[in-house]
A and B are shown apart, each in its own frame.
Chain A
Amino acid sequence: MGIALKKISKSYNGQAVLKNLNLEINRGEFHVLLGPSGGGKTTILSVIAGLIRQDNGDVLIGKRNVSNLSPEKRKIGFVFQDYALFPHLTVFDNVAYGLRVKNVEESEINQKVEYYLSKVSIEKEKGKFSRQLSGGQKQRVALIRALITEPEILLLDEPMSNLDALTKETTGNELKTIQQEMGMTTVYVTHNQDEAILLGDRVSVLNHGEIEQIEAPDELFYHPKTEFVARFVGAKNILKVRIIEINQYGAVAQVNNSGLGQPVQIRVNKYPIFEKGKEINLCIHPEKISLKRENKASDVNLNRIRGKLINKTNNGNGLKATIDTNGMELHATIPKDLFDFKIHEDVWVCFAPDAPHPLCGKKCRAPEAGRRCLVTTQVDRLLGC
């Protein structure tokens, strides 16, 4: 069963949390709802489940309008943000709950519960109470408690936010496998872009009760449509530019970010929406930026901007560097072994012309093929290649 939210709005005490929200999720899809804390993610799930009544708009499951259906009739599995296991029941009885509600034979219940317990490898904990479980175990109990009723729709509210990185990855893969086996339409809420990319068939980004972009994870990651999405998926460098020239090789843009002392010109790939004189936002992923000490002639193909390293933070296998380029801050993620700069050192910020992407819709995605640059010729250089 697919899910469709049509013009849903919801406010609490006059404060709008969901604003005319439309969302269609296909049958069998693993859909990730990505957004910052307080963005309305839990509210959306609660509206789908019928735990919160929307002020306006309709919820469709399959072809059926369920807006007036109480939650127990919607055939939805819900894994809550805080797991919400029944504290007075053992793991076994928690998992069996949904079957007992339906008066299933006790022997069948036994068999099914054992099956699901073993599926997520927590048979050993079946006699424990939730207060005796670790976060990861609780999460798995909550998951199979929802799965055992074989819901048509599975709603997961940040189910992995309490797990360590390693467990997260294995659990995520398990979850995805189970979802594919059982084939239920799944909505997975998170504020973590890595989870979104790992799990989602499609990802929608929620900002203040509105969906800013719905896309397959790769597309979303590399082609964010708005500044908010770009920042949220980690494309932290946003350049506000004016296109000053378009030629057969690409385009030349003038960066005018506020705070920037002097406009800088960069070369970028040519996109269909580019027009001479047009103001547009470009984003660059920090991984696409490299730092150099010298301005070598062999780097002539790269954009180079002079700056000063003002901060570096350790990020596991990479270093996050912040560079001040005459009033504009740029962020770069550099592999540790390539990083030998000191704070306050002057550096060249380098990135290829294909690194910046315009923040725009689908139509402008693919850059137009430009003629290959002939770096050596003076003419090409003049043309901004």
Chain B
Amino acid sequence: MKKLSFDTAISFITGIFVCLIVLPMFALFTATSFGELINQFGSPLVLSAIAISLETSLIVVLLALCLGIPVAYLLAMKDFKGKEILDTLVDLPICMPPLVAGLALLILLGGNNKFGSMLSNCGIDLIFSKKGIIIAQLFVSMPFLIKSARGAFESINKNVTNASLTLGASKFYTFKKVLLPLAKNGIYAGMVMTWARALGEFGATSMVAGCIPLKTETMPVAIYQNAMSGELTSSIAIALLLLVFSFTSLLIFKSRVRGQTG
């Protein structure tokens, strides 16, 4: 008797969880008609937001690869003083509120700061530009790549690396021909997560780059702006597209993680 009511309670709570996730999405999908949605994709504002988001997020993925893989390699393969600290630094942006990250970047890169004014003297203006968006997105999303790649490197049998060395290969050759191919799936998974995170990034981006339509307005920023100014339909259109993107990346991620363990 008791067991039954316990099981019922568990199922009931799970039901609440499912509703919590599914109902909002259902609402989003049914809020407006299909024809109206399609119309929205003709609007230059919407198209520009999509273009800016895709451009910046893809550049972020490439930058994250270049910067993240060496850090992941270091964390996975070496023991050194300060490893704990570096490890914490990698986790920090994940836990940090994006608005705080954005504010910190804004202060660092802004004209009132020595570093910022130095950059702007050299003609590099990061604030209120696409470059700013990229830096903000990179800040919050790179840890996903580092963590995933690190895990992939760590799961490689140490003796496989050693075998390559004893066969006369240099560390770099070993990295290229053994470690990278074996960590491939983990790196792909990290790229997908980084991309998804960068694409959805709102707080830090809007802090650093502002919300200048056609210039720095990314998809999430456009959703917010349009919703606040009563243009709900274009918000919904962009939101649904973002949802498609996240869903795709989730599927890719799942298949890669399975590929890695299988």
Binding site for B on A (CB under 8 A): 46, 49, 51, 70-78, 80-82, 84-88, 97-98, 101-102, 145-146, 149
Contact = CB atoms under 8 A, between A and B. Distances in A.
Contacts of A88: 178, 181-182
Given A82-B159, A84-B157, A86-B160, A145 B167 contact: yes
B40 interface: no
B170 interface: yes
Contacts of A146: 166-167
Given A74-B166, A75-B168, 9 more contacts: A46-B162, A49-B162, A71-B165, A71-B166, A81-B159, A101-B169, A146-B166, A149-B167, A149-B168
B162 A102 contact: no
A102 B166 CA distance: 13
Question: What 4 pairs between A and B have smallest CB-CB spacing?
Answer: A84-B159, A98-B167, A78-B166, A71-B165
Nearest to A98: B167
Given A72-B170, A101-B173, A87 B160 contact: yes
Given A78-B163, A80-B162, A87-B160, A102 B181 contact: no
B30 to A, nearest CB: 47
A156 B143 CA distance: 41
Interface in B158-194: 159-160, 162-170, 173, 177-178, 181-182
A234 to B, nearest CB: 31
Given A80-B159, A80-B162, A82-B159, A87 B168 contact: no
B165 A97 contact: no
A97 B162 contact: no
Contacts of B164: 86, 97
11 contacts: A46-B162, A71-B166, A74-B166, A75-B168, A82-B157, A86-B163, A87-B160, A97-B167, A101-B168, A102-B168, A146-B167
A84 B169 contact: no
Task: Name the residue among A49, A71, A77, A145 with the largest chain B CB count within 10 angstroms.
Answer: A71
Contacts of A98: 167-168
Contact of B169 (A51, A72, A75, A82): A72
A183 to B, nearest CB: 19
Given A72-B168, A149-B167, A51 B173 contact: no
A86 B178 contact: yes
B213 to A, nearest CB: 48
Nearest to A75: B168
Nearest to A42: B159
Contacts of B159: 80-82, 84
Contacts of B169: 72, 97, 101
Contacts of A70: 165
Interface of B: 157, 159-160, 162-170, 173, 177-178, 181-182
Nearest to B169: A101
Task: Name the residue among B157, B159, B166, B177 with the largest chain A CB count within 10 angstroms.
Answer: B166
Contacts of A101: 167-169, 173
Contact of B162 (A77, A78, A145): A78
B94 to A, nearest CB: 30
A102 B163 CA distance: 15
A72 B165 contact: yes
Contacts of A97: 164, 167, 169, 177
Contact of B166 (A49, A85, A87): A49
B175 to A, nearest CB: 13
A359 B166 CA distance: 40
A77 B157 contact: no
A49 to B, nearest CB: 6
Contacts of B173: 101
B120 to A, nearest CB: 46
A317 B78 CA distance: 52
A204 B168 CA distance: 28
A196 B227 CA distance: 79
Contact of A84 (B160, B168, B170): B160
A112 to B, nearest CB: 14
A81 B159 CA distance: 9
Nearest to B157: A84
A70 B174 CA distance: 14
Contacts of B178: 86, 88
Nearest to B184: A88
Contacts of B162: 46, 49, 51, 71, 78, 80, 84
B78 to A, nearest CB: 13
A51 B171 CA distance: 12
B168 A51 contact: no
Contacts of B177: 97
A51 B165 contact: yes
A279 to B, nearest CB: 47
Contacts of B163: 78, 80, 84-86, 145
Contacts of A74: 166
B14 to A, nearest CB: 38
